[in-house]
């Protein structure tokens, strides 16, 4: 793109920013590749105290979006640094753009007018975003087998333990924290999550616990140290397996805790208690009956099973999770093979498998805050993250964590802990009240 084209594009974007400002009146700026900045507010009061800005760092980003105005293209442009943000996190940008009044005002914009302003630039060279980190394979999980599952898990979790250490708490817990008070820090909330999970399972000294998808070993070590359980964790991530082995040795828990690098379907034996924390969304809806059946076959007749999983709102019509653009992006760039169930179907499948459901607790706001904290912590250590995994991976993870926080805040994503017993016959394996959980 020559200087004349760049100048014409800059002028068009200035006019567009002015038109947006008349309708939007939001505390936001549009900043261009040469440093010029235009307010997206019709009044100075909306932006005078805000440095929040969407940045078009490369003029080629505009024709790229004109030719392919999709979420996938936006992600690729952001991953390559062609578009960016300043003055806050992506959560702040998302909060402004998702505000009900802002969305209402945006609908009043003339899309035809905007297109006419930019149409002359559609033939300009676009930004090169071809080499973007994405999963090479069946990201939707339509053709599942054990090899695919290992590849799916490895794509997300085997990025680098050092990378995850940048934004997780010291215990390396990569699932929703539990805030008994919203003022608690991340470490306290994650400790409380591990503890409430053990209390819900009514863990006792000497009981055998199986943790499916054990992550970096936080729960199995917590269960052994604080409840005297004999714990086994299973994972498909080589990085998590290596870290957990080292952790068990470091904490002197070799006689109480073990970890195996295997698929949960290959686990044998019987267990008093089974937990699955943040693994449920990785198995795929079609595989849920097999999952429930396998878990129940591993559980002793008086045992308890705690299933902790992200869900979506139930739909009037049954559709595959990956049908929406944001869902396709999630499985392509973050969680290949991931698919969300709804809580009604989860409970139905538990009962079909023979379980008795005892408790269901929603943690949506807890995960909105957890992912917000993760996003902030990772953003604060940007240089270190880029040094470990490169700029693309860093950017994609920041976008992912911000998107999760916004999704849970809006209610488009939910999360539940569900406690079930092995069967519905005879005395239940839980007390007559739940007072013991919250003492």
Instruction: List strand residue ranges (DSSP E) for 344-394, in order.
Output: 356-362
Distances (CA, A) of 254 to 214, 246, 257, 264: 16, 10, 5, 21
Question: What integer pLDDT is reported at residue 140 of this predicted model?
Answer: 65
- One-character DSSP codes across 203-249: --TT-EEEEES-TTSHHHHHHHHHH--EEEEE-S-HHHHHHHHHHHH
Question: What integer pLDDT is reported at residue 225 of this predicted model?
Answer: 98
| Spatial separation of the C-alpha atoms in residues 335 and 155, rounded to whole Å | 8
Phi, psi of 126 (to 5 degrees): -90, 170
The whole-chain average pLDDT of the chain stands at 88
Among 42, 40, 43, 15, CA closest to 29: 40
Mean pLDDT over 99-114 rounds to 68
| Spatial separation of the C-alpha atoms in residues 165 and 172, rounded to whole Å | 7
Helix (H, G, I), strand (E, B) or coil at 81: coil
Roughly how many angstroms between the first and final C-alpha of the chain, as a whole number?
Answer: 66
Domains in the chain: boundaries? 3-121, 146-437
| Spatial separation of the C-alpha atoms in residues 104 and 358, rounded to whole Å | 42
Percent of the chain with pLDDT over 70: 90
Mean pLDDT over 20-38 rounds to 80
Which of the listed ranges 205-209, 310-314, 402-406 does the model predict with the highest average pLDDT?
A: 205-209
Among 295, 396, 300, 397, CA closest to 350: 295
pLDDT for 234-263, tens place per residue? 999 999 999 999 999 999 999 999 999 999
Q: Verify whether residue 198 is a known catalytic residue.
A: no
Question: What integer pLDDT is reported at residue 241 of this predicted model?
Answer: 97
pLDDT for 40-60, tens place per residue? 777 655 445 578 899 999 988
| Spatial separation of the C-alpha atoms in residues 102 and 98, rounded to whole Å | 7
Among 419, 353, 150, 176, CA closest to 265: 150
Q: What is the dihedral of CA 246, 377, 189, 259, to 10 degrees?
A: -20
pLDDT for 368-396, tens place per residue? 999 999 999 999 999 999 999 999 999 99
Residue 189: pLDDT band with limits 50, 70, 90? very high
- Percentages of the chain per state (helix, strand, coil), in multiples of 5: 50, 15, 35
Percent of the chain with pLDDT over 90: 57
Instruction: Determine contact, residues 334/366, Cβ cutoff 8 Å.
Output: no
Sheet holding 208-212, edge to edge: 257-260, 230-234, 208-212, 271-277, 299-312, 413-421, 356-362
Q: Which residues contact 287 (CB under 8 A, 6 or more apart)?
A: 144
Question: What integer pLDDT is reported at residue 17 of this predicted model?
Answer: 75
pTM for this model (two decimals): 0.90
Angle made by CA atoms 382, 371, 184, in degrees to the nearest 5: 105
Residue 143: pLDDT band with limits 50, 70, 90? low
Instruction: List strand residue ranges (DSSP E) for 286-434, in order.
Output: 299-312, 356-362, 413-421
Q: Which of 98-107, 133-142, 338-347 has the lowest mean pLDDT?
A: 98-107
In CATH, the number for domain 146-437 is 3.40.50.150
Question: What integer pLDDT is reported at residue 45 of this predicted model?
Answer: 52
Distances (CA, A) of 375 to 10, 91, 322, 398: 32, 8, 24, 6
| Spatial separation of the C-alpha atoms in residues 149 and 87, rounded to whole Å | 39
Residue 145: pLDDT band with limits 50, 70, 90? low
Q: What is the dihedral of CA 310, 313, 319, 324, to 10 degrees?
A: -80
Question: What integer pLDDT is reported at residue 43 of this predicted model?
Answer: 67
- Statement: residue 180 has pLDDT above 90: yes
Distances (CA, A) of 259 to 87, 216, 231, 383: 43, 10, 8, 33
Active-site residue identified among 176, 198, 221, 404:
404
pLDDT: which is higher, 355 or 99: 355
């Amino acid at each position: 793109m020559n200087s004349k084209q760049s100048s014409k594009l800059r002028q068009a974007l200035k006019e567009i920013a002015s038109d947006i400002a008349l309708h939007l009146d939001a505390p936001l700026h549009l900043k261009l590749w040469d440093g010029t900045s235009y307010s997206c507010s019709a009044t100075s009061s909306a932006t005078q105290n805000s440095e929040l800005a969407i940045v078009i760092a490369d003029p080629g980003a505009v024709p790229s979006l004109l030719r392919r105005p999709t979420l996938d293209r936006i992600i690729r442009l952001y991953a390559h640094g062609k578009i960016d943000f300043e003055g806050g996190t992506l959560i702040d940008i998302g909060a402004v753009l998702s505000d009900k009044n802002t969305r209402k005002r945006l609908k009043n914009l003339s899309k035809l007018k905007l297109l006419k302003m930019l149409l002359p630039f559609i033939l300009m060279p676009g930004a090169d975003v071809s080499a973007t980190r994405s999963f090479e394979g069946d990201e939707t999980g339509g053709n599942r087998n054990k090899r695919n599952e290992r590849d799916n898990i490895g794509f997300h979790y085997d990025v680098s333990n050092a990378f995850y250490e940048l934004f997780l708490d010291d215990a390396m817990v990569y699932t929703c924290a539990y805030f008994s008070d919203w003022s608690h820090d991340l470490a306290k909330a994650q400790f409380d999550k591990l503890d409430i999970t053990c209390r819900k399972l009514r863990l006792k000294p000497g009981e055998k616990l199986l943790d499916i998808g054990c992550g970096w070993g936080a729960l199995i070590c917590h269960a052994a140290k604080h409840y005297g359980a004999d714990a086994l964790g299973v994972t498909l991530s080589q990085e998590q397996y290596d870290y957990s082995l080292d952790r068990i040795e470091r904490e002197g828990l070799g006689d109480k805790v073990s970890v195996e690098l295997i698929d949960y379907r290959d686990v044998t034996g019987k267990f008093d208690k089974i937990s699955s924390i943040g693994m449920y969304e990785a198995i795929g809806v079609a595989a849920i009956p097999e999952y429930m059946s396998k878990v129940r076959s591993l559980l002793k007749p008086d045992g308890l099973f705690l299933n902790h999983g992200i869900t979506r709102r139930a739909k009037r019509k049954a559709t595959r999770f990956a049908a929406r653009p944001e869902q396709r992006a999630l499985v392509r760039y973050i969680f290949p093979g991931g698919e969300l169930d709804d809580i009604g179907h989860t409970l139905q499948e538990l009962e079909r498998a023979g379980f008795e459901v005892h408790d269901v607790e929603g943690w949506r706001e807890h995960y909105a805050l957890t992912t917000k904290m993760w996003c902030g912590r990772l953003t604060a250590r940007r240089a270190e993250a880029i040094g470990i995994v490169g700029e693309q991976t860093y950017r994609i993870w920041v976008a992912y964590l911000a998107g999760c926080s916004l999704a849970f805040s809006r209610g488009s994503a939910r999360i539940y802990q569900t406690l079930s017993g092995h069967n519905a016959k005879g005395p239940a394996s839980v007390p007559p009240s739940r007072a013991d959980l919250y003492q």
